[in-house]
Amino acid sequence: MDLMAGIMAMAPLDLAALGAVVLIGLPHGALDGAIAIHLGFSRRMILFIRFLLLYVGMAGLVIAAWIVAPALCLLGFLVISMIHFGAGDARHGSGWVRGAEVLAHGGLVVAGISQMHRSESDVIFAYLTGGDTMLVWQGLDMLTVIVGVSLVVCLAQALWHRRWRGTALELGVLAVLFALTPPLVGFAVYFCCVHSARHVAAIMSGLRQHMSANAMLLQTLVFTVASWLAGAAAIWWFADMADPQPVILRVVFIGLAALTVPHMILVDGFYRRATRTLKRQFVSR
């Protein structure tokens, strides 16, 4: 009861944002089990067991590394999140122009929210690093310059190419959202309503020809419940009953970092590479 009272004492908007990330955003990564099956990791039971062990093992390594070097790991997590978010949102261009679009989209979320709400973000970063945020801000300040240049490239493209105007409008709407809402709220809206929604739509569109909706739902449910139980156990075990917010933030965001690394390897590496190969084979026929 003390833990629940401490949780309910948190700022309502922050509590709602964290709840949305966990209950709505987190399940989008739970489709990784369905992706693994689609990629053939379930052809033999030993292959699927190996996939699960590697997935969990990589997540465990991230947590262990975070304990040893929290500031470095947080900065690394912000960088890979920026790339992952941007890769999911980018729709146009190729080569360096696509790179600029990836950095503009992902950088607006990561560097944009952080810089727009520097003091509030610093409190969150301090929870995640044990208090030392200097390295994190040094990295973010350098990234912000790169992101700014990338945003200018995207806006310039929108002036010359009509198809880029939707991208510019989306970036503008997100910038206003991030500026007007607390950092956790802005991130939660983006993570749940933009990134997760796009990811689920893209993955389900790619998998539904090879797997039933019920099978995908079952895989998603299993992975989601397992991650919820692990997070709840960590909060219960480590939280200060009177002030649980620091541990809740650590569990949510370090947990996201731990799951993002194998998720990115699977989705941005194996799955997208396999999808591009299939498209090339289809075009060549």
Question: Is the predicted pLDDT of residue 129 greater than 80, yes or no?
Answer: yes
User: Cα separation of 54 and 34, whole Å?
Assistant: 16
Region of 44 please: left (phi>0), alpha (psi -120 to 50) or beta.
beta
DSSP state of 241: S
User: Cα separation of 205 and 216, whole Å?
Assistant: 11
Q: What is the pLDDT of residue 259?
A: 81
Per-residue pLDDT, averaged over 161-180, amounts to 93
Q: What is the pLDDT of residue 278?
A: 43
Question: Is the predicted pLDDT of residue 266 greater than 50, yes or no?
Answer: yes
Q: Is the Cβ–Cβ distance between 53 and 251 less than 8 Å?
A: no
User: 42 is written with which tokens?
Assistant: 């379930």
Q: What is the pLDDT of residue 282?
A: 35
Query: pLDDT band at residue 1, thresholds of 50, 70 and 90?
Result: very low
Distance, C-alpha 194 to centroid of its chain: 11
User: Cα separation of 250 and 256, whole Å?
Assistant: 10
Higher-confidence residue of 39 and 16: namely 16
pLDDT tens digits, 154-164: 999 999 888 88
User: Cα separation of 154 and 63, whole Å?
Assistant: 36
Rg (CA), the chain: 19
Query: pLDDT band at residue 285, thresholds of 50, 70 and 90?
Result: very low
pLDDT tens digits, 65-80: 999 999 999 999 999 9
Global pTM? 0.82
Phi, psi (degrees; rounded to nearest 5) at 40: 100, 10
Q: Is the Cβ–Cβ distance between 136 and 121 less than 8 Å?
A: no
pLDDT tens digits, 197-249: 888 787 777 777 666 667 667 777 777 777 777 767 766 666 555 566 777 78
User: Cα separation of 207 and 38, whole Å?
Assistant: 7
Region of 132 please: left (phi>0), alpha (psi -120 to 50) or beta.
beta
Q: What is the pLDDT of residue 95?
A: 83
179 CB-near residues (< 8 Å, 6+ apart): 116
